[in-house]
Structure 1
Amino acid sequence: MEGPMLDATIQTKAAPKMQRSRGAARAGFDGARLVGLRQSGSAKAILPRVPGAAEVVFLNTSGGLTSGDRLSYETDLANGARLVATTQAAERAYRAEDARAEVTVRHRVGAGCHLDWLPQETILFDHSKLARETTIELAADASCLMLEAVVLGRIAMGERVRELDFFDMRRIERAGQPIFFEPFLLNSDILAKGARGAILGEARAFATLVLCAPGAEDAVEPVRSVLNEPGVEGAASGFDGKCVIRLLAREGWPMRRQILRLMETLRRGQSAPRVWQI
């Protein structure tokens, strides 16, 4: 008598689909008046009461970015609006197994307006994957100050970033024409080349500040006079209505102190946003 045939097929469970965060926040200003506020998902826009220019603080409530996350921040300025836009804390890009996380930042700065885009640093952890695109669209007579700062891991925690996929596109346009265009790529292949001067040397923190305004070249000498933070290399140049500053440091904390000093100089004595001072 034949026994029942056994099903030899091995039943396997499909890998669970990981939850991904989505967030978008936008704030619009007409002169000193808030005319639009929209936020969804993990992105929030906070409007603290501060003297002087209006201020918006963007926040990612997901606590960080990983594979497949998408985040966007936007502002629209019209009729002479002056705005300080920043982030509540350092953004963190964590280990990603699949696709990159994506961040899109777009600021539209209308006639007679000025924007200070001063996000706190982005911390990239080992095996992180992040693609970010920042675009500032200036009207013919508008101006801006843009900051981007990046830290590779937390040096104080003994972290070392060896595997990475980071692409950062920074673009400033005036009346539809590009006046600052900087694609930046840092990945595992580049890091594997070691401490080369043409890459980062021994630095694990770096930043760029760009002031675009009539007479921005005049800021070069005042900026150079405060590029004196121990442990930070800095240089400034001015040309064609721009002042561009580059910073390199072995760790993030001295670079942050240098950035705070530069903010005060470039913003003519105005203190940094309060979230930077906490």
Structure 2
Amino acid sequence: MFDSSDTAPRMQRSHGAAHVVMGPRGLIDLAQAGSAKAMLPRMTAGLPEIVFLNTSGGLASGDRLAFAVDLRAGTRALATTQTAERAYRATAAAAQARVTLTVGAGGWLDWLPQETILFDGARLDRETRIDLAPDAGCLLLEMLVLGRLAMGERPARLHLRDRRIVRRDGRVIHHDAFALDDATLPRLDGPALLGGAPALATLALIAPDAPDRLAATRAVLDEPGVTGAASAPPGRLVIRLLAANGWPLRRQVNRLLSVLRPDPLPRIWQV
């Protein structure tokens, strides 16, 4: 006879971790497990690239995903993701995502992941930690899209805890936190929050001369359909963007990157 108990079935979960160590002459170590993969395409121009991939196709309840980059002294590189990450509707615990980035003396890292799309009912806890040597620097990007906009979806339920923490020589120099929940969503149209914009991005340039780029940055904050602002506290340049959908947001991000960095955009990006 069939078991008629109402015990909830145990769902399969995705776990993945990928860790790349690079030096000035190239790859030193690569470790990957589960759904997380890392690729190092051959480049003829620009910074060496690290491309992370989540082969599970997205994040659901209880999934765990970890990406890590360790750049040794004197190493410069770019790290990105193979495609947009998707956080699906969750029925239980939040998915956990961790990004750990370490940049050694005289090094530089561009962390330029593609956007994260939050489906209705998604639950995601994500933390990005960057440890910089005293004379190292980095450029950080985060893009979020609330709902599958091409389908007209706007989330009615959502849980997001997203933090980016940058330390230089062990001391916190940049802490950016963003949180959404079911109670917050009805108020997102207010001017103090997102003004109704379902797509948003933050760029942070961490370097002693970062404030010198403020004027050039503001000069290109004019993409139609995007609202943007830039500020320059000591040793940082922080840019925030709001848009009606992901396409004008990506165009504005691309224009900003052309001002903030001399190298080509990641080849994996579809532009």
Q: Normalising to structure 1: TM-score of the pair?
A: 0.94
Amino acid at match of 1:102: Q
SS of the aligned residue for 2:41 comes to coil
Aligned mate of 1:225, from 212, 219, 225:
219
1:115-194 → structure 2 map (5 Å cutoff): 115-194=109-188
**What is the CA distance between 1:277 and its match in structure 2?**
3.0
The residue number in structure 1 matching 2:63 is 69
1:24-43 → structure 2 map (5 Å cutoff): 24-43=17-36
For the 8 Å contact 1:53–1:84, the answer to whether it is kept is yes
**Alpha-carbon separation, structure 1, partners of 2:226 and 2:134:** 35
SS of the aligned residue for 2:247 comes to helix
For the 8 Å contact 1:28–1:37, the answer to whether it is kept is yes
**Alpha-carbon separation, structure 2, partners of 1:194 and 1:130:** 18
The residue number in structure 2 matching 1:213 is 207
Q: Which shifted more, 107-116 or 14-23?
A: 14-23
Percent identity of equivalent pairs: 54
**Alpha-carbon separation, structure 2, partners of 1:126 and 1:199:** 19
Stretches of structure 1 that go unaligned for 5 or more consecutive residues are: 1-9
Aligned mate of 1:95, from 89, 96, 99:
89
1:272 aligns with 2:265: yes
Answer with 1 or 2: which has the greater Rg. 1
Amino acid at match of 1:33: G
Amino acid at match of 1:47: L
Aligned mate of 1:85, from 63, 79, 84:
79
**What is the CA distance between 1:194 and its match in structure 2?**
4.8
Would the alpha carbon gap of residues 135 and 194 (structure 1) be closer, same or farther in structure 2, given more than 3 Å must change?
A: closer
**Alpha-carbon separation, structure 2, partners of 1:250 and 1:95:** 22
Number of aligned residue pairs? 268
**Alpha-carbon separation, structure 2, partners of 1:169 and 1:248:** 18
For the 8 Å contact 1:32–1:54, the answer to whether it is kept is no
Stretches of structure 2 that go unaligned for 5 or more consecutive residues are: none
Amino acid at match of 2:94: R
1:15 aligns with 2:8: yes
The residue number in structure 2 matching 1:253 is 247
Q: Normalising to structure 2: TM-score of the pair?
A: 0.96
Q: Which shifted more, 175-184 or 192-201?
A: 192-201
**Alpha-carbon separation, structure 2, partners of 1:33 and 1:56:** 11
